Chains A and B, each alone.
Chain A
Amino acid sequence: MSDLIEIEDLSVTFRAHGRAVHAVEGVSLRVPAKASFGLVGESGSGKSTILRAICGLAPISSGAIRIGGEKLKSPRDKAFAARVQMVFQDPYASLHPRHTIDRTLSEPLAIHGIGDTDARVMRALTDVGLPTAFRFRYPHQLSGGQRQRVAIARALMLEPEILLLDEPTSALDASVQAEVLNLLNRLRAERGLTFLMVSHDLAVIDHMCDRVLVMQNGRAVEELAREDLSHARMTTAYAQSLFAASADRMLDPAGKDAR
């Protein structure tokens, strides 16, 4: 049986000032259906670029991406949008400032010709734990955590199988991060979603994902199962340094001695 997301030897190259920038070089990964896969690494390591390449927002120079065994069409079609949706890092930038929440949430339905808009919008708000009274508010009337909930609701409007999460909580406070992570986990359990999640926070990835790929300078460094991560059984020096630098180690009695 093939995996839901298959990425094979993917490379993404940008041209800037006549110079080629290799953002992603020869990365392969496979995510089975209903699994949660994490990408971790420093900024510029190409982790977000992989998500963008899946959505057709970054130029693929070689390699292949398959979703459910099928090659992706360029440009991505409506059927792709119905299957794969993305939640971006910055909820202050990813919602249209002049559209009400209602318009933001009903737009995907209008594009895909799905009726029953009213009920679906109300249900989407309830599902992400927002009061339905928020429906006709504008993004500037919401807090960062509430906006990210709206962004998640929008991504779920078309009932996709796959959610691509690009640092969904890095712009949020710790207490709000906890709420959003709990929400994502609940939705995944309820709807059998597949997550491909990017974060620079190993503790977040560990909490959310079954497997994690450590990236550096556009290349895959090491793929780890969750148990190996928590027991620090990484084999490469880079993954170890990432683990050691994780602020989370502070709270760990064992980590404290290591300081």
Chain B
Amino acid sequence: MSLLEARQLRVDIGGQTIVDHLDLSIAPGECVAILGRNGAGKSTLLSTLAGLRPPTAGTVSFAGQDAGTMPPRQAALNRAWLGQFQSDPFGSTVLETALTGRHPHLGRWAWETKRDAELARSALQAVGLAPMESRPVHTLSGGERQRLAIATLLTQAAPLYLLDEPLAHLDLNHQMAVLELFAGAARDCGAGVIMVLHDPALAHRFCDRALLVFGDGRTENATVDGILTAKTLSELYGYALRQIDDGGQRCFIPE
């Protein structure tokens, strides 16, 4: 059964249709990149796919169940969503923040157990934040905060990850680490991954398929080899690109 299925999805924002007639299905172990210009509606589409925003038309379902009628807690057990902005007006520690990912797994009166703390600590380890677990969140740098948000997502331990610009604020080293982390989760643990990326070369290297969002309702969805070419990407970004192939990898240079 597919982890996520969108049927005839239509998404409007501010009276404008950004996605129309979209059919998308994510099977376990699949990794999909969403690419498009600024303001094309990638984030809006992603939060609609996460069930956080009702679609104008069409349906989204997690593991065969309609996301629109699913209680929020059950949805949180089916998918994890990484937003673009993290805020914390009151401050808390790194470990406490990572532990919030356990919320959907805990009963109303339950407190976090030792096992929950172990899960949170191993998630912090995975993003290289283990030594900082008692640091207040507002002393972290932008990149460290982004990695903490990713650790919180891993703590949630949902089978499907929806990532809105997971590489924001990250240096090259951590960009590769994060992509390998999620590609590994898809390959080894059968997780489904959808991520909004801005680098077509990285999308080609780490993802199985790419969904191009043109911003006028049109979308194209195919394997990365077939769709990530100089021709389609030049049209997508409205800027001429040249493609260079090196071994199995592709890179795109602005003309």
Interaction A to B: no
Residues of B within 8 A of A (CB): none
Which A residues have a C-beta under 8 Å from some C-beta of B? none
